[in-house]
Amino acid sequence: MRQLSISLEHDLASLVNAEIPLALPSDAPEPGSTLEDRMKAIESDLLDRAGGLDSFRTKAGQIVREAVDYVIDAPTLARYSIDELEPDEKTAIGKRIERLLRVRFEIERGDKLDIFLGGEDVDIKTTMTNKWMFSKSSWQKVNLLIAYNEDKALFSAGLVYVLESQLGAQNRDSKRTIKAEFYEQIRWIVRDARYPANFLARLERGLLDKIRTKQSGQQRVNALLEGVPGMVIPRHAIISVGNQYDSMRRLRKNGGARSPLWKKGLLVLSGTYNADKSIAAAVCGVSLEPDQFMSLSKDAPKMTDEVLSVYRSEHGLAL
């Protein structure tokens, strides 16, 4: 009995002093898998769903743009920048990104966390400041990190396994951030990738103020087109200043911007018209996409009588 007791004590001491493999919680998808294996499995699953790394970069960037625009809600609230949001609204952007990621990449919800990837639950954390906040439910779990910067129109995405020892002091919501010295442990999927910029937020303040003062959606669209000749305008900018989701009619000839701006010496080009696309390419060297627009002066360099004639004929405009 004494020998058995000594043997048990020896075995227990060996267990206490043994090195425990990093990040092997009880719910690991495969017994014996390392943290590196798990990270690779999660990243591979995510990229497979996205259609590859390049596709993920493009689609995830578009998700960020859509999430920010959704919360700004320019068509309804006539505000054009993330700087105009309340703190709780900025938080809502993260939840919108989370939902769009699940839908666009067809990711199932996790049992306890946001999503299920690579055979395990994964939490999603987003930030505008490069400081992600973690609650206890995210500890000892792999987290998908999203960071975005509206001023630079850049975003990053990566994976990190969170340990309590890596976290700083908690805030009033009992959440904590990763200490700076542990940022090197983030496994980046994309870093500082470009996403579509907020077109309106980058315009001169004077022009935005002028647009805001116009009483009707048509007047605001006209003011935008007059204010940025030669610039490619995304569809969402037209919708935003028009303050309604059917703002495309404000670009047409009858009752829209095309006729009055033609009288002021401006052509309104739309990527949905082959003639307009040809004019943009010939005069500006720009390839207009179907959801892009542009205004051009009749006196623009490389503008010719032949180009003006094609434009008039295409849109039934008078001399």
- In this structure, the answer to whether residues 189 and 219 fall within a common structural domain is no
Q: Hey, what amino acid is at 131? A: K
What is the pTM (predicted TM-score) of this model?
A: 0.81
| 267 located within any domain | yes
Q: In the Cβ-directed half-sphere of 313, how many Cα atoms lie within 13 Å?
A: 9
Q: How high is the pLDDT of residue 243?
A: 75
Q: In the Cβ-directed half-sphere of 162, how many Cα atoms lie within 13 Å?
A: 27
| 18 located within any domain | no
Q: Quote the domain boundaries for residue 291.
A: 200-315
Q: How high is the pLDDT of residue 299?
A: 95
Domain count, the chain: 2
CATH (domain of 142): 3.40.600.10
- In this structure, the answer to whether residues 178 and 217 fall within a common structural domain is no
- Walking along the chain (319 residues) 10 residues at a time, the average pLDDT comes out as 45 40 42 83 98 98 97 90 94 96 97 95 93 87 96 96 82 79 90 96 92 89 95 92 63 71 94 95 94 94 95 90
End-of-domain residue from the set 170, 194, 218? 194
- In this structure, the answer to whether residues 237 and 113 fall within a common structural domain is no
Q: How high is the pLDDT of residue 76?
A: 87
- In this structure, the answer to whether residues 190 and 53 fall within a common structural domain is yes
